[in-house]
Structure 1
Amino acid sequence: MRTFKVEPLDTQAMEICRFRIDNLTKPIYSLATLETIAERFAGILGDPKPNHLRQGVLVVAADHLVDGPQNNQHGSESYAAIKRFNEGRTATQGAAAKLNAVVHVVNVGLEQDTSDLANIEQQVIRKGSHFFGVEPAISREELERALELGFTYADRLHADGLQVVAIGNVGERAFLD
């Protein structure tokens, strides 16, 4: 398993950023969480005035516990959702286009075959739904492969110059991710 080191936030950059934000023509902390996010970005990037950040989106698709142990749906809702991504017809892609952000959609375990969808990256670790009441949802080896895939995409997006990445998921019962 890969190891990595997360550097501490640059507190000096954060303090300078906070001072600047507090001295803008606006009531103190009127932008609430947005101000906190800017301050945090300053600390992460070591830049007291972070702006013009390059951003992207990573959407991971996998089915989990589709329809419980009976699995009557067989991932049909997930397939319909991933097909909309393939066709470029999602709100996520619309918002990303406004921000000039690239969107990567990766199938790591949908139940239905998506190999015919040209705009969906295929990195299937475990195909389909596995109800934990019947069998393990994922093996340790599959978990390690999934983590390594996440590291690989982080490296790839960083190499592409992205500084901010929104992550999301598609899949039936995906809230279990």
Structure 2
Amino acid sequence: MRQEIMEHIGEIRGLDQAAIQAAKSHINNLTVPPGSLGKLEAMAVQLAGITGTVKPSFDRREVIIMAGDHGVCAEGVSAFPQEVTPQMIHNFLAGGAAVNVLARQAGAEIACVDIGVNSELSHPDLLSRKIRYGTANMAQGPAMSREEAMQSIMVGAKVVEDAVKRGVQLFITGEMGIGNTTASSAVICALTGMPASDAVGRGTGIDDSRLQHKIAVVDKALKVNAPDPLDPIDVLAKVGGLEIGGLAGVILGSAANGCPVIIDGFISSAAALLAKAICPASADYMIVSHVSHEQGHRRLLQELNLRPALELDLRIGEGTGGVLCLHLVDAACRIVSEMATFESAGISGETQEQTI
């Protein structure tokens, strides 16, 4: 399994520098003052580097929702019971969740993957890739084995590979799993040394007393398992989640296939941190959609050295922020493909003042 991951990482290449320079030159000749389109310009340049073309378009885009349960829920860290995970999966498959509504608006497909839900699920549209029925309680010992952690990464990478064969060109990370903000917080603390009090947030909306308990549970999990910050697979196995590993695989798989990947919220960003730790070059393919209301998310994005496109105080997950960001991706693409240049519009460009 380790060999498979290494081979996959080996497919990840740096961005196309010639396309980046060509995109910058083209954008500088558009009929706007230089730099006036801000993050949209930066996004257009990044997309050029990823795709190797100045004027990319993404007709086929897919939200990959990784779903898994967490044994740490036994510690009482969530406001919702674990039964909500399979219930929400049925909601996704029926088209009734927030991410479904926003994906329809943005013209995105949705793939829902059971990578570790703690119940039997059957539906013709469900991708059943279950590794185990939820993780173990990380407050008592490792969440999963090292082999299972590596398997979760490869599940995500393979889902992307299969989608690329169907013509999908861009991916959005999504997730479902009661308790996954706890696991994500532990992953972040293990990889960065961030204190649990800074990383742990309210998740589904817990009160002050349960928040303090959640912080203590993360501290206990880190102490019990002592994950190695220099070994991201060890971190994933000891304090992570199957859907977090699956999303790290989605990110690595997107990069290996030369596709942009839009990172959703807190859990997806924890997966992005894992992916970057496994292969730093994968960060070049990430577009961070938003900074959420979850306490540690802004610090996490600073660790990734990536800027969010939006700030909407979301704390829903599912891939909702990622799908909303699709509209900005489309805007960036249309700007470079449809806007006139100074030359084509017959408009005088910027002049340089001369000193006599």
Please report the TM-score for the alignment, with normalisation by the length of structure 1. Answer: 0.87
Q: Does 1:57 align with 2:75?
A: no
Instruction: Give 2:16's match in structure 1, choosing from 10, 13, 29.
Output: 10
Q: Does the aligned pair in 1 maintain the 2:66–2:176 contact within 8 Å?
A: yes
Task: Give the 3 Å change call, closer, same or farther, for CA 77–30 of structure 1 in structure 2.
Answer: farther
Q: Does 1:29 align with 2:32?
A: no
Higher gyration radius (CA): 2
Gaps of 5+ in 1: none
Quick one: which amino acid aligns to residue 120 of structure 2? D
Report the AA paired with residue 124 of structure 2: A
**Deviation sequence 1:18-77 (CA, Å, 0-9, x none):** 222233233433332222221111111110111244311111001124524369965212
Aligned twin of 1:99? 106
SS at match of 2:65: strand
Write the distance in 1 (CA, Å) between the matches of 2:12 and 2:38.
26
- 125, 148, 159: which one aligns with 2:131: 125
In structure 1, the residue matched to 2:25 is 19
RMSD: 2.2
The CA distance in 2 between the partners of 1:21 and 1:66, in whole Å, is: 49
Instruction: Tell me, in whole angstroms, the C-alpha distance in 1 between the residues paired with 2:132 and 2:101.
Output: 30
Match of 1:108, SS state, is: strand
Cα distance in 1, alignment partners of residues 44 and 71 from structure 2: 38
Equivalent-residue separation in structure 2 for 1:147 and 1:24 (angstroms) = 41
* Equivalent residue number for residue 148 of structure 1: 154
Identity, in percent, stands at 27
- Larger relative contact order (CA 8 Å, sep ≥ 6): 1
Match of 2:168 in 1: 162
Identify, as 1 or 2, the structure richer in strand. Answer: 1
Q: Distance in 2 between matches of 1:90 and 1:32?
A: 32
Distance in 1 between residues matched to 2:58 and 2:145, nearest whole Å: 41
Structure 2 CA distance, aligned partners of 1:21 and 1:53?
22
The size of the alignment, in residue pairs, is 176
Q: Name the CA distance, whole Å, in 1 between partners of 2:56 and 2:76.
A: 50
2:67 aligned counterpart, secondary structure: strand
Amino acid at match of 1:157: A
- State whether residues 110 and 127 of structure 1, in contact with CA within 8 Å, keep that contact through their aligned partners in structure 2: yes
1:92-147 per-residue CA deviation (whole Å, 9 max, x = no partner) reads 222222333221000111123222x3332211112124211223201111112112
- Supply the distance in 2 between the matched residues of 1:48 and 1:79 (Cα, whole angstroms): 42
